[in-house]
Structure 1
């Protein structure tokens, strides 16, 4: 699996699942990740939001706000549910949207410095 997918997944997981008090916001806990990844339009919208090429929903803004930190810390503030969501989204994007992964990698980890460590932590 390519780690750039992890970045998107971390982002989705950040808004989708509950987080501990010291973690990411729990404001969007009720979002259905499976429904999002099953809808190409929604996935594309979230990616466009992250890449600052499109409008962001409230959920997208939360995602964008936490994305850099989540990538740089390999989701250290994620709950177990968020990490599970990260793996689900990662798998989906790797199989179905590899071009979007490349774009996200270029923005959030252009040198690949976080990829190796995050891959170990999030795909184990």
Structure 2
């Protein structure tokens, strides 16, 4: 009984910590990054392993594979807005960089259709 209770408590702690990290960017200002090409390029270089990463950049890099592979399915509505703005911002500034990003995180193009649908519809 005691080991079962310990196991349940560990699961609750892990779930709470995961939710906190995933919800961290609900109020992230994507517009300020998109409007500043230098900052947008810095984030791009970070997630592409071509430059240094800030703390936020490291966190984005950590969640980016799942975000792209699931078309942001675990994202909150606010997070979907942020992710969509950032991806569309990168795409608008440089289609080759956008495609390079997709090739890195979805090399088999397994989720491109769902991702493009997400970018168009936000869903």
Give the TM bin, normalised by the shorter chain. Answer: 0.7 to 0.9
TM (normalized to structure 1)? Answer: 0.72
User: What's 1:41 paired with?
Assistant: 38
Unaligned runs of 5+ in 1: 1-20
CA distance in 1, matches of 2:93, 2:39: 13
SS in structure 2 at match of 1:52: coil
Paired residues, number: 104
Stretches of 4+ aligned residues off by more than 6 angstroms = none
Bigger radius of gyration: 2
Q: 1:71 aligns with which of 68, 71, 74?
A: 68
Give matches, 1:1-124, under 5 Å: 22=19, 25-124=22-121
Q: CA deviation at 1:72?
A: 1.4
Unaligned runs of 5+ in 2: 1-17
Higher RCO, Cα 8 Å, sep 6+:
1
* CA spacing shift, 1:123–1:23, aligned 2, 3 Å: farther
Q: Root-mean-square deviation (CA), in Å? A: 2.1
Q: CA deviation at 1:30?
A: 4.5
TM (normalized to structure 2)? Answer: 0.72
- Greater per-residue helix proportion: 2
